[in-house]
Amino acid sequence: MDGLPVSTVVAALAFVGGTVMGITARSMHFCTLGAIADAFIGHKHKGLRAWALAIATATLATQAMHMAGLIDLQGSIYLTPDFGWLGAIVGGLCFGFGMALVGTCGYGTLVRLGGGDLRSLVDVFVLGFFAYMTLRGLSGLGRVLFIEPTNADLSALGGQGLVEAAAWLLDADGEALRGTFVALVVIALLAYCFKDRTFRHSRTDVAGGIIIGLVVASGWFVTGVVGADDFDPTPLGSYSFVTPVGETLVYLMTFSGATINFGVGAVGGVVFGAFLASRAKAEFRLEAFDDPKEMLRHVFGAALMGFGGVTALGCTVGQGITAMSTLSMSAPLALASIFLGAYLGLRYLIEGSLLGALRSSLARD
């Protein structure tokens, strides 16, 4: 691949990683909304533990690369001094609520599409449209006028990393503290995962969490090492599935004048991987909306996910795993907001109204 542009090589490697993610999600049922529903409504936490294992794996591998000098995480959008706390909350709530209406997250929507779900084709178009519109278009005005002015400047801390914040509080050197901080985070996550006997004996969930975590870590390597070209450097990042969906739609429409990037390759890979897995398991089948009411719910939910994912700087994968692996302040805030939004959305579907959802959420069992 020596003769290929760096952007093409990066996109090709992202496609490979995305294919692995698509196969994993489809064959091992790695689903964020399912994990949230099982935990907060069904009181079963195996899915959340698989997600926590993915975070632990990605964090350990990503931070190891940073400490080894292979990548510099300070160049990521998640660790800039401009801390968008309100965007993480508002965007997370919108994304989570929309995720409940659609029945899955942005990543899951691509997985469903690979399995032949035509409802997800509509979801992808609406999500991508609103994501790009929030990034560069009309709905971006709300983000620029009302969300971004509230951002907190954390230059005094050296950025919005949790390690930097801990170092500031302890008056210690951040890089010297990093190893201990990472160890504590990873040990805590692993303790949560493996204290449950059912999860320990679930090879599928354990394997799914480890694979997804390693793929996310590989994204940092691909962009930070393979993409570190002196003339055409690739922005440092890893897997996320909101803005890249919008970028993929634009790329497909403007192919002759566009350049492929990591996100476009990742989106294509997830759909392809899910297709391979569904065909291998004889599960591929075309599905459509049952009625206009269901379609309207999906359209509204996908629009909320597109707006929320861009406003929060990521989705369940982008903030929930990728940003968490950088130990960013925004990640736990956005992830908690996504979980709360999803819980309210699920309650809304059960109760039939937003007021009923709020009452049900606040009521004691």
Amino acid at 69: G
* Phi, psi values for residue 161, rounded to 5°: -80, 145
Separation between Cα atoms, residue 179 and residue 187, nearest integer Å: 12
Q: What is the pLDDT of residue 2?
A: 61
Separation between Cα atoms, residue 240 and residue 225, nearest integer Å: 19
Amino acid at 319: Q
Q: What is the pLDDT of residue 205?
A: 94
- Answer yes or no: are the C-beta atoms of 53 and 190 closer than 8 Å: yes
**Residue positions counted in the chain:** 365
Other Cβ atoms closer than 10 A to 156: 9
Q: What is the pLDDT of residue 1?
A: 54
- Answer yes or no: are the C-beta atoms of 138 and 306 closer than 8 Å: no
Q: What is the pLDDT of residue 362?
A: 79
Task: Supply angle C-alpha 302, 315, 132, rounded to 5.
Answer: 55
- Answer yes or no: are the C-beta atoms of 298 and 287 closer than 8 Å: no
Give CA separation, 129 vs 154, 248, 254, 345, 355, in Å. Answer: 32, 10, 15, 22, 29
Q: What is the pLDDT of residue 37?
A: 87
Q: Which two tokens stand for residue 227?
A: 């993409």
Q: Burial level of 108, CB count in 10 A (0-12/13-18/19+)?
A: buried
Helix axes 292-311, 118-136, angle to 10 degrees: 40
Q: What is the pLDDT of residue 291?
A: 94
Separation between Cα atoms, residue 62 and residue 185, nearest integer Å: 13
Separation between Cα atoms, residue 264 and residue 45, nearest integer Å: 32
- Answer yes or no: are the C-beta atoms of 79 and 319 closer than 8 Å: no
Q: What is the pLDDT of residue 327?
A: 97
Separation between Cα atoms, residue 337 and residue 161, nearest integer Å: 19
Total H helices, total E strands in the chain = 17, 2
Per-residue pLDDT in tens (0 to 9) along the chain, 365 residues: 567 889 999 999 999 999 999 999 999 888 888 888 888 888 889 999 999 999 999 999 999 999 999 999 999 999 999 999 999 999 999 999 999 999 999 999 999 999 999 999 999 999 999 999 999 999 889 899 999 999 999 998 888 999 999 999 998 888 889 999 999 999 999 999 999 999 999 999 999 999 999 999 999 999 999 999 888 889 999 999 999 999 999 999 998 878 899 999 999 999 999 999 999 999 999 999 999 999 999 999 999 999 999 999 999 999 999 999 999 999 999 999 999 999 999 999 989 888 888 887 777 54
Q: Which two tokens stand for residue 270?
A: 């997830």
Other Cβ atoms closer than 10 A to 296: 12
Strands (E), the chain: 82-83, 152-153
Strand partners, 161: 328
Q: What is the pLDDT of residue 364?
A: 53
Q: What is the pLDDT of residue 231?
A: 83
Give CA separation, 321 vs 6, 59, 137, 221, 339, in Å. Answer: 25, 8, 27, 15, 14
- Answer yes or no: are the C-beta atoms of 193 and 52 closer than 8 Å: yes
- Answer yes or no: are the C-beta atoms of 108 and 242 closer than 8 Å: no
Question: What's the predicted TM-score (pTM) here?
Answer: 0.94
- Answer yes or no: are the C-beta atoms of 70 and 225 closer than 8 Å: yes
